Structure 1
Amino acid sequence: MEGPLGAGDLLAAVRAVLDGHGGAPARPELTVHGPGQYTVRVGGDRLDIRSRPLSDQPPGTLDPVLDGPGARRIVLTASGAPSERARDLFTALTEAIGRRARCYTAAEAAAIAAGMPLTDRYARPEPALAGWALIFRDHYVENSVGFLLAMERAGLDPEWIFALSKGDRTQHRERVHSWFLRRGYASDTLDNSVINGTAGAAEAARARAVDAQVADFVRRAHAAGRKVLVIDDGGLLAQGYGADGPGPRVDAAIELTVSGLKRITAAPGELAVPVLNMARSQLKSRLGYNEIADSCVRRLRAIVPGQKFIGRHVLLLGYGTLGARAARSLRALGCRVAVVDTDILALITAAEDGFETHRSIAEALDRQRPFLILGSSGGTAVTAEDVPLLPDGVLLAGFATKDFSVLTDGYPGATAQRIPHVGVRYDLPHATTATVLGDGRSLNLFEYEGIANRGYDAYRAGTLLAALALCRDPERFPPGLHLEPVDRIIDDAGLFDAYYTQYLCARSAPLGTGAFAGTAETSGEDAHAR
């Protein structure tokens, strides 16, 4: 196992496991040979634990952290033919040490918090949080860690936080999960494929088990006299947690994405709870999508480092808020970008922004042979009728899950070959190939951290402000979707002014934005809760 696990924390993890395996017939005996060097004897069996530092390892967080133990390799061995009890102990030690090795250190958590100074600024104590529980469903990335730590600093009890991953293969999802468990949160996955109705049998079965945990969490919170807030992309509300029905109902929600708005609209039953609409807020539209588009283009170029971009034809499907920004970024790079959109006003806007435009994919591919097609439509961008028209060897980069689902859900006659860390190549029945980059989901979240912490800092700060306002006075918001109050909450808090001062003002001297993080002052288990 490998991770930033110092000798003291390693010894603590070993002792915690041994304490749980004490008693008859023979209590395990621990011998400490030196820092990180231990032997455990259980009956006549011997288990050895050895650790050593690893040099020249890349940072385990977006910002390099100077404090902390550094990465170490930990080897656990069993001698001879161990008994069943020794094997059970071996397994328990492996799981406990591995989980602790994956977990963020206190210095790393402090660095994540320091990298989100606006979120930290607004994490002021809010007494109303003492009466709330939170279900937070989002990507398992560092800015989610920073957001939930801010909710803690504002007064939310970690015991009453249930974090759910949306199932994307983000780079450090296992580290985030381990950290959440160590903080005392419940943590699991409710995959977007389940919400969209495309999950396989195994994932659907797991989702039912997770749904039972969520329902139990809501019931326990209500029994303890707490209201329940959901921060999500509409997944839980689409499952009925925001409407009157036989199951438990949450008390309020914050919607993060446009796709979530669509899920809420399509969900059966009337909304019976207030939902604050962050997805359409000025904050996300004016600031958030710039950062999302930047992360999409950065990830795209990184995943195919051998490709030439400058001067080549690119086809963009969908000229919405995200697509428009991605198109401008690629044009600035030197790409020759054409746009397809079925919305005539979006097409007019793209044309007047100087892009070649087409009403259909067929029309576009009749005039050019792009090496790359980007999808940002949020729907099924490429249909079965379009597939035979695709140029041989084309790369398909989706920034919304459904864009290239015609291939990822199974195209008749196609064979798929997974390319590790790149995507899936499809040999099509038309004697051509196409490669879907990533895993068919949002490419900027495929084995990647997505948006920089400082890039998403303002959006997380705005979400925090909305959550505090909603918990402080839930009766102020009747059931249904609310957009205007979100913009007003953010304006009243002065978030845009703080954003400008923190990141853009030439004479500002912001704190917590250095290239390197972690000093003696930020070490210690609870340093992040400064």
Structure 2
Amino acid sequence: MDRESTTLTAPRPDHRGDGPVSFAATAVEVAGDPEDGPRLLRRAARRLCEAAGPDTVLTHTGGELTARLEPGLHAAMYVSTEMRRDGAGSPLLRLNLRLSGHGATPSPAALERWAEVWHRQALSALEVVRVAGELPLMSAAVERLRPGRPLEGFAVLVTGHFLTDLVHLVGCLAELGAPLDAMTVLRKDYAYQWRHRVHGHLVEQGVRVVDAADPAAVREHTERARRRGLRCLALDDGGYVAPALLDQARAGGGAPAGPGDWAGVVEQTMSGIYKLQGREPELPFPVFSVAQSRLKGRIESYWIAEKAVTTALDLLPALKIEGQPALVVGYGNVGAQIAALLTQRRMRVAVHDADILQLIDAHESGYVTDRDLPALLDRHEPLLVFGVTGRTSMSTREFRSLRRPAYLASVSSRDIEFDLPALEALAEGDPVTRPSSSTHVLPGGVDVTVLAGGRPVNFHETDSISNLHSDLVYAGMLIGACAVATRPAPPGLDRGWADAVLEESGLLLDYYDRYGPRATARPAAPRR
């Protein structure tokens, strides 16, 4: 997919005269036919005017659309066409926005707000087809699951990273019967390149978009579904749904919702599964754990690990890493792959895991290990530490055990892997903050640099794994959603249920046929 252009230019310092000052300019690049340009421009202009308020008037002036957004701030909008830089495919339509006015320059926050609204441009038909072509396993799964429209009658809640694969996932759910106007997507706040366009596309489809951190989001989705006589089903990423429902039950002293409100939850991350540990008996519905499935653990883990290692090393300053010590905390599926990749980079790798079986596995695989993490930090003196536990792996005691400058890289959802408040409390003075890291000086003069703000490095200013890689797990989630809707297991968390359903679904056979030794390179299933 093409990169989303989000550049804001500053006002020109050499402006003279009484005319308006140019405050900022930005453009959205859309793959499409040139004749679509005027229609897309009008749609984008209407979106900007709706954000400005009902009294905003759109006018046509000298080949441009213009509008007054707020006192002293005017927008000029026009479309231009340019050939793709790679010389292939359809032309690029540039939807241009120029903000200007008289008087004081608007605040950067105000300019960014208008730029964000402008960039909420739905994907064009050509872009939707291109995304679908990068996700053939999902499309083929829909073709197998489509008969009977298994998700008809369900209000689906999706927790999503705002990448282009989310657009196709929502489209597939709709093809399986889930009504778009009853769907809620919880937005995870990562700065992906296409996040504004994905947001705009979902809203244009009639989907309700809510911040994942909104504590009322799950309850409101349940209430909306109940009013329409629909049951709820969630495709979750990080434990935003089932724990929230259980917390509501505890607060209310009863079931998390009405008896027939929730059919179940499909969870794709181990951090989401960890949040349910010890609470499984409370679950009034089944949880389909793609997170613990063999499909995710054996195939996807390498892709995540490779992206995490590559990005983390790119974020380091100019350092010679060969022969330097590294530490992987968490020897699960992804952690084991990270340890192997660091070894291939000729680093000296140590491993810690709270699970004794995982620790034995790491030891017998040749890694330096210790049951006590502070002792391992003190002895191994790692230059680079990867946190891959899905929980908080390092806090005050561990930070005090660092003996040399170290770089911390998280591969867990959000910023839970390293106890950042504890690090800040321990540090001397204010941190040195850079665009991709922050450095804290611990007592004794040890510098500790947190990469990517403590958030997962594999998501840092990038689209994580490619669509061709996310395809497999998203296809598994579609299959899990249909299983929850039509053939649910008893309430609780049964990891064997997901393996059984996924392995009899035909998904793995499809994957092998496409990418195995006799790969046929079949195209995605045709869209209907």
Match of 2:42 among 1, 4, 11: 11
CA deviation string 1:371-399 (max 9, x = no partner): 21111123332232232331332111111
Partner of 1:378: 390
Distance 2:197 2:68 in 1: 30
Corresponding position: 1:424 with 2:455: no
How large is the RMSD of aligned CA atoms in angstroms? 3.6
CA apart distance, 1:277 = 1.6
Contact 2:222 2:257 in 1 (8 A): no
Q: For structure 1, which segment, 459-468 or 136-145, has the greater mean C-alpha deviation from structure 2 after superposition?
A: 136-145
Q: Which ranges of structure 2 fall in alignment gaps of 5 or more residues?
A: 1-25, 31-36
Contact 1:380 1:406 in 2 (8 A): no
Partner of 1:524: none
Match of 2:164 among 142, 161, 164: 142
Contact 2:116 2:196 in 1 (8 A): no
Partner of 1:154: 176
Q: Cα distance 1:361–1:15, how it changes in 2: closer, same or farther (>3 A)?
A: closer
Distance 2:45 2:182 in 1: 28
Contact 2:75 2:97 in 1 (8 A): no
CA apart distance, 1:416 = 4.2
Match of 1:498 among 492, 510, 520: 510
Corresponding position: 1:238 with 2:267: no
Partner of 1:112: 131
Contact 2:218 2:244 in 1 (8 A): no
CA apart distance, 1:122 = 0.9
Distance 1:329 1:283 in 2: 21
Partner of 2:464: 450
Match of 2:451 among 416, 422, 437: 437
Corresponding position: 1:69 with 2:104: no
Secondary structure of the structure 1 residue equivalent to 2:65: strand
Contact 1:141 1:176 in 2 (8 A): yes
Q: For structure 1, which segment, 116-125 or 501-510, has the greater mean C-alpha deviation from structure 2 after superposition?
A: 501-510
Distance 1:41 1:378 in 2: 48
Distance 1:417 1:268 in 2: 41
Secondary structure of the structure 2 residue equivalent to 1:500: helix
Partner of 1:49: 76
Aligned residue-pair number: 479
Q: Cα distance 1:111–1:398, how it changes in 2: closer, same or farther (>3 A)?
A: same
CA apart distance, 1:118 = 0.2
- Using CA pairs under 8 Å that are at least 6 residues apart, name the structure with larger relative contact order, 1 or 2: 1
Contact 2:162 2:187 in 1 (8 A): yes
Q: Which ranges of structure 1 fall in alignment gaps of 5 or more residues?
A: 82-86, 192-206, 514-527
Contact 1:239 1:267 in 2 (8 A): no
Distance 1:319 1:165 in 2: 29
Corresponding position: 1:280 with 2:285: no
Secondary structure of the structure 1 residue equivalent to 2:521: coil
Distance 1:180 1:251 in 2: 24
CA apart distance, 1:177 = 2.1
Partner of 1:180: 202
Distance 2:50 2:330 in 1: 58
After TM superposition, list the pairs within 5 Å mapping 1:378-527 onto structure 2: 378-400=390-412, 401-405=415-419, 410-417=424-431, 419-473=433-487, 476-511=488-523
Contact 1:252 1:274 in 2 (8 A): yes
Q: Cα distance 1:101–1:129, how it changes in 2: closer, same or farther (>3 A)?
A: closer
Contact 2:139 2:524 in 1 (8 A): no
CA deviation string 1:151-172 (max 9, x = no partner): 1222222112100023344443
Match of 1:166 among 162, 167, 188: 188
The residue type equivalent to 1:113 in the other structure is A
Distance 2:241 2:73 in 1: 48
Partner of 1:253: 265
Corresponding position: 1:226 with 2:230: yes
Q: Cα distance 1:418–1:153, how it changes in 2: closer, same or farther (>3 A)?
A: farther
Distance 2:191 2:447 in 1: 25
Q: Which runs of 4+ in 1 moved over 6 A?
A: 16-24, 54-59
CA apart distance, 1:299 = 1.8
Corresponding position: 1:33 with 2:33: no
CA deviation string 1:30-79 (max 9, x = no partner): 22533xx234589x9995514465979999xxxx9833534454213346
TM-score by length of 1: 0.80
Distance 2:275 2:378 in 1: 35
Same amino acid, percent of matched pairs: 26
After TM superposition, list the pairs within 5 Å mapping 1:269-308 onto structure 2: 270-304=282-316, 306-308=318-320
Contact 2:150 2:176 in 1 (8 A): no
TM-score by length of 2: 0.80
Contact 1:65 1:108 in 2 (8 A): no
The residue type equivalent to 2:397 in the other structure is E
